Chain A
Amino acid sequence: MITTQSRTGKTVRIVALAIWLVITLFPLYWIVVTAVKPRRDIYAFPVEYWPQTFSLENFVNLFAVSNFGTYLTNSIIVSVVAATLVTLISLLSGYVIARFEFRAKSAVLMAFLVTQMIPGFIALGPLYQLMVNLGLVNDRSGLVLVYIAMCIPFSTIMLRGFFENVPDALEEAAMIDGCSRIGALFRVLVPIMTPGIVAAFIFNFVSCWNELFLSVTLMTSDANKTVPTALNGFITSYNIDWGSMSAAAVLTIIPTMVMFAFASKYIVQGLTSGAVKG
């Protein structure tokens, strides 16, 4: 595999990679194209691969017939707040797991990993009742709490991997100079680890932004719906309006896609180290 590759080998490789790129990007292309077509062209067969007329009517229509602005606002607030808090909380837990040896350590890790393995749907009923009792149904702060709990385990494991890549000499030096442990963590380690922390934040943000089942369970009134809950409503209606649907899908995908592309290198690092080390 180190030896130089033959010319045909190289061609095969480039062609295969190009084909896969096209296959990967096509659904994205297709939803964008659908979103900018006027209604009559969406429902045409044979289909138009390049829109004959561009139109923003689907986007205008989406905001006119539904409260999509409200859903977007809800999703942004819940995801930003939850992702920020998760990242802070799991900085602490990830740090301790990376830096200290203690007897319960493997049990702690196991307890976190288990939540990633078992079907969380079993918790939906009791969780709904718990939130009713706490008065947190149809409340954005309730959803934030649930999302924090959902993201903590993986975020901890991911950040622990990033901490392990930073030598502990740095914070020790800071602590000899009279810094407290928490001070050393935030003043010395956090600045060095910024890319990893941003990646963890983005990963958490995207998880919250995309979450469907918890939000469907807990946000039942229209004013509190998040974007995925609203999309679920669109799709279960008898007649799907594919114009508004594709406009909504585009608006949902674009922000997370941009964020992911931006941080993909670090997210890959976090995912692979997290999964391999377990």
Chain B
Amino acid sequence: MTTTLPERRATPLAAPADGPSRPPASRRRAFTRRRALTIAAFLAPAFVIVAVFTYYPMLSGSLGAFRTWTIYNVAEQPWTGLDNFRVVLSDPLFYSTVGNTIVWVIGSIVPQFVIGFALALWMRRKFRFRGIYQALVFFPWAVSGFLIGVLFRWMFNSEFGVINDLLMRSGLVDSPLPWLATPALAMPAVIIANVWYGVTFFAIMILAALQSVPDELYEASALDGAGKVRSFWHVTVPYIRTTLALTVLLRTIWIFNFPDLIFGMTGGGPGGRTHIVTSYMISITQQGEYGRASALGLIVMLVLAIFAVFYLLATREKKEAYR
């Protein structure tokens, strides 16, 4: 916290004790100090709790990546340099989970974005019961990713699952598919569940962005003779580009860090085929291999940070090129 703070308004009314005319320097100093104290006092409860129960364990966990640290040596954890990283990087399962993660992220985000965008465009125009509609399609958000996984685990059940029943009734398959037990089918099933879960988020974010586009722009482009398609590409998209880019970035990171659904649906199976890096990390943690899990966590963070920087640079360049 800093002690010297710039004034916010021309007429400071922040401290009730101060008079309306220019206060003497000593009182101004007292006022500034009081203001800093107010800020510190209001932020303190939030910061102390987050520091103790979030920052400290995260920091300590990150350092643990460089220690021999398992559930069996809680008392003493000698430094080991990069040993944990070496173990992680020489594990073939690590590379297959990285591959799974890429499939999981791209396979989820692209359909989520496309369907979400379409829904937002369709929902943009007012219709009767739009409020109720929005509240209803909002329902997946109230449910945890883990429980969504459980619901879809039941629907994709090989023997009694409703999805197999629907597929057979529509004549697409002849016999029930063992979705979650088949390596080639498990990942698509998990991705379908995740797409279902995430579309609403995109729809609502994009809808909010669409509603921020001023109507005058459309009127002007209509006057200039632009049709719907052209005004979509030349008015709508450029106007909401930043929001779109940020939403995609946030969602990518979030889906990357989202093992909850996988946990509920497959637990990473069959044979690790639906393990993404974070779910793999949790299963290592549950085996008591804290040091290795931390090393994996640091690798994830590094990759995400690099991705975020590149992504932001790329989208910024595009924006400038457009201007």
| A residues adjacent to B (C-beta < 8 A) | 1-3, 5, 13-14, 16-17, 20-21, 23-25, 27-28, 30-31, 34, 42-47, 89-90, 92-93, 95-96, 100-104, 108, 111-112, 115, 117-127, 129-130, 145-146, 148-150, 152-153, 156, 172, 175-176, 178-181, 206, 209-213, 228, 231-232, 235-236, 242, 245-246, 249, 252-253, 256-257, 259-261, 264-265, 267-268, 271-272, 275-276, 278
Contact = CB atoms under 8 A, between A and B. Distances in A.
Contacts of B106: none
A172 B301 CA distance: 44
Contacts of B200: 24
Nearest to A263: B135
Nearest to A202: B142
Given A96-B39, A149-B52, A253-B142, A172 B165 contact: no
A124 B60 CA distance: 10
Contacts, number: 283
Interface string B238-268: 0000010011001001000101100110010
A172 B13 contact: yes
Interface residues of B, number: 112
Contacts of B165: 45-47
Given A232-B146, A235-B153, A261-B136, 10 more contacts: A5-B125, A14-B127, A27-B152, A28-B151, A92-B42, A101-B6, A102-B5, A112-B50, A125-B290, A179-B16
Interface in B47-70: 47, 49-50, 52-58, 60-62, 64, 69
B155 A1 contact: no
B182 to A, nearest CB: 18
13 contacts: A23-B196, A30-B154, A96-B43, A100-B5, A108-B43, A118-B257, A118-B301, A122-B298, A123-B60, A125-B293, A150-B54, A212-B260, A253-B143
Contacts of A13: 122, 125
Contacts of B2: 102-104
Nearest to B278: A119
Contact of B140 (A24, A122, A123): A24
B137 A235 contact: no
Contact of A123 (B39, B61, B196): B61
A8 to B, nearest CB: 14
Contact of B142 (A16, A23, A235, A259): A259
Contact of B139 (A24, A125, A146, A150): A24
B282 interface: yes
Contacts of B79: none
A213 B145 CA distance: 12
Q: SS class of chain A's interface: helix, strand, loop or mixed?
A: helix
Interface stretch (B21-29, B88-96, B214-222): B214-222
Interface string B257-288: 10110011001000000000010011001000
A254 B23 CA distance: 58
Nearest to B54: A149
B32 to A, nearest CB: 11
A89 B222 contact: no
B150 A24 contact: no
A92 B45 contact: yes
A47 B278 contact: no
Contacts of A5: 125
B61 A275 contact: no
B310 interface: no
Nearest to A17: B122
B285 to A, nearest CB: 6
B231 interface: yes
Given A24-B196, A92-B45, A260 B53 contact: no
Contacts of A149: 49-50, 52-54
Q: Which 7 A-B pairs have the closest CB atoms?
A: A210-B144, A122-B297, A149-B53, A123-B57, A260-B142, A125-B290, A93-B46
Contacts of A21: 133, 136-137
Contact of B49 (A121, A148, A181, A264): A148
B102 interface: no
Contacts of A253: 142-143, 147
Contacts of A96: 38-39, 42-43
A30 B298 contact: no
B306 interface: no
B139 to A, nearest CB: 6
Given A101-B6, A175-B13, A206-B142, A46 B204 contact: no
A115 B288 CA distance: 24
B144 A235 contact: no
A122 B278 CA distance: 10
B87 interface: no
A235 B208 contact: no
Interface string B145-167: 01110111111010111101100
A272 B154 contact: no
Nearest to B300: A119
Contacts of A45: 159-160, 164-165, 176
